[in-house]
Structure formats: structure tokens, C-alpha cells
């Protein structure tokens, strides 16, 4: 007679079941360490090999810079201002592009009217709008937000449109057989069916929003993390350049994670 199979102790089983995630975390940590080490060595020995590390700040110098920046309200202001611009530009883009994409996807006439204009404007990078934006908007602040808005607008619109084109017509018919009328079909079928693509658009749009924002801040800005980075170069504070860059990276990473998290909350069915 055999008893029930004996289970391994709980911690062991936890380790075994989460092997993949643990492995990725360990490898990731090693990779980051190696990156820092390479950076440290390249700057310590001021390597010149095609690219010149002569003036590049070392990790230690950047860390020092960070310490100084933490006690500096100006740095904090710059970061907050950039975040505010992203929030405004990106939110405006999402609020306009998602409904527009839904309407273009649903009504042929709207699509026929807007699509050609969209296709001409879309390839123009947001940065190319800088001179025009300065003419269009009375204040610098508004034109920077406008540039950020433009950067994220088209990725969101295009992905929403793509999502709409992939809505399964059988689901629309099923909803009609259950008594759904136009507005309900829109709200209950087209919108949720497009949501995964809308979120792809939001993620891409957020990335482009940061790209556009930093460029706009460097060109026409006062304040903001992009301006901080550019100013550091002008003022020959090289370690602040790297600090600004890392800060932009972390902010970009954080905002994408935020959207991914929001996507998980909004689309609980979409978990695989």
C-alpha cells in the first residue's frame, strides 16, 4: 500500500514553480552590474577607442550628482514639470485619439474624410512641429505640451483604428440578436474588443510622448528634465548630463509600467 504522494516542503515548491521569474531577475541583476562595471572601467581609464570616454562622468560621479540633486529643489521642479507636460499632452492625445479612432473605425464617411489628412500628417515627426508650434501657441509651455500631444496622438489613433478593423463581426451580430442597438453595440462590443489594441497604442504613444517632450524641451524649453540635461552640457557639468539621461530612462520605464498596470486592471479577461 502506498500513501498519498509526499509533497516537497513549501519553499522548495515555490522555488520550482517560480523558476522562470527568479532566473530572469538574477540574470537581469547580473547584466545591470556588468553594465555599471563596464561604465566604471571605461571612464576610470578614460578609454579612447573610436569613441572618447575622456569627459564622460563615472558612475560614482553621477551618484554624487544625484545626491546633490536630491537636495536641490530646482532638479525636483524640472522633473515635476516634465511629468506634468507628459500627463497633459498624453491625456489630451488619449482623450481625442481613442474616440476618433472608434468613430473612424465604425463610420465609413468619417474614415473617408479623415484618413487622407491623417496619413499626410502622421509621418511628420513631432519635433518637426516645433517652429509651427511656437507660432501657433502663445506660450512656450503650451507649445511644448502640444508637441508632446502630437507625439502620442498618432500611435494611439492608428492602433485604435487597427483594433476596430479586427472586431469579430460575429460578436456584433450576436449582440444584435440580444437586442443591442447602435450605442450599446459601440459600448459593449466595439470598445472592449478594441481595448487590447488601444492599450498597445497607449504604450507606444507614451514612449513617443517622452521622445517628443525631451526634444521640445531641449530646443525651446525652459525647465524640464530635457532642459536640465541640455543645460548641464552648456554649463560643463558633465555628470548632470548622465543624471538627466538616467532620470529620463527611469521616468519612461515608470510611465510604461503604469499603463501596463492600468491595462491589467481594465482588461482582466486579457490575462494569459
Tell me, residue by residue from 150 to 179, as one string, x for binding to another protein by CB under 8 A and - for no binding: ------------------x-xx-xxxxxxx
Size of the site for another protein (CB under 8 A): 22
In whole angstroms, how close is the CB of 156 to another protein at the nearest point? 20
Cα separation, 176 vs 243, in Å, equals: 56
Q: Which is nearer to another protein, 119 or 168 (CB)?
A: 168
In whole angstroms, how close is the CB of 168 to another protein at the nearest point? 8
CA of 227: how far to CAs of 125, 154, 243, in Å? Answer: 20, 25, 12
CA of 142: how far to CAs of 84, 91, 116, 137, 161, in Å? Answer: 12, 14, 27, 6, 28
Number of neighbouring beta carbons within 10 Å of residue 184: 13
Q: Which is nearer to another protein, 189 or 204 (CB)?
A: 189
Number of neighbouring beta carbons within 10 Å of residue 56: 18
In whole angstroms, how close is the CB of 113 to another protein at the nearest point? 27
In whole angstroms, how close is the CB of 265 to another protein at the nearest point? 13
H or E element, residue 51: strand 51-52
Q: Cα-flanking dihedrals φ and ψ of residue 48, to 5°? A: -120, 105
Tell me, residue by residue from 114 to 153, as one string, x for binding to another protein by CB under 8 A and - for no binding: ----------------------------------------
Q: Does 267 bind another protein (CB under 8 A)?
A: yes
Within residues 185-214, the interface with another protein by CB under 8 A covers 188-189, 192-193, 195
* Contacting residue, 184, 222, 235, 257, with another protein by CB under 8 A: 184
Residues paired with residue 175 on neighbouring β-strands, in sequence order: none
Inter-residue contact 239 to 61 (CB < 8 Å): yes
Residues at the interface with another protein (CB under 8 A)? 168, 170-171, 173-181, 184, 188-189, 192-193, 195, 267-270
Amino acid at each position: 500500500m502506498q500513501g498519498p504522494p509526499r509533497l516537497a516542503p513549501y519553499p522548495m515548491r515555490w522555488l520550482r514553480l517560480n523558476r522562470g521569474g527568479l532566473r530572469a531577475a538574477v540574470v537581469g541583476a547580473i547584466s545591470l552590474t556588468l553594465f555599471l562595471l563596464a561604465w566604471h572601467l571605461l571612464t576610470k581609464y578614460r578609454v579612447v577607442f573610436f569613441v572618447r570616454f575622456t569627459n564622460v562622468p563615472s558612475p560614482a560621479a553621477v551618484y554624487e550628482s544625484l545626491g546633490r540633486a536630491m537636495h536641490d529643489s530646482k532638479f525636483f521642479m524640472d522633473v515635476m514639470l516634465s511629468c506634468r507636460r507628459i500627463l497633459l499632452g498624453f491625456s489630451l492625445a488619449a482623450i481625442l485619439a481613442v474616440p476618433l479612432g472608434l468613430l473612424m473605425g465604425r463610420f465609413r464617411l468619417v474614415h473617408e474624410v479623415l484618413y487622407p489628412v491623417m496619413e499626410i500628417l502622421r509621418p511628420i515627426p513631432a519635433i518637426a512641429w516645433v517652429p509651427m508650434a511656437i507660432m501657433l501657441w502663445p506660450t512656450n509651455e503650451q507649445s511644448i505640451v502640444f508637441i508632446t500631444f502630437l507625439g502620442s496622438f498618432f500611435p494611439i489613433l492608428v492602433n485604435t483604428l487597427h483594433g476596430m478593423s479586427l472586431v469579430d463581426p460575429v460578436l456584433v451580430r450576436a449582440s444584435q440578436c440580444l437586442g443591442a442597438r447602435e450605442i450599446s453595440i459601440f459600448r459593449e462590443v466595439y470598445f472592449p474588443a478594441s481595448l487590447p489594441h488601444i492599450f498597445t497604442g497607449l504604450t507606444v504613444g507614451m514612449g513617443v510622448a517622452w521622445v517628443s517632450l525631451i526634444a521640445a524641451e531641449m530646443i525651446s524649453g525652459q525647465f524640464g528634465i530635457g532642459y536640465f540635461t541640455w543645460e548641464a552640457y552648456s554649463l560643463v557639468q558633465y555628470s548632470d548630463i548622465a543624471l538627466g539621461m538616467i532620470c529620463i530612462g527611469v521616468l519612461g520605464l515608470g510611465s510604461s509600467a503604469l499603463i501596463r498596470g492600468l491595462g491589467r486592471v481594465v482588461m482582466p479577461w486579457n490575462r494569459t
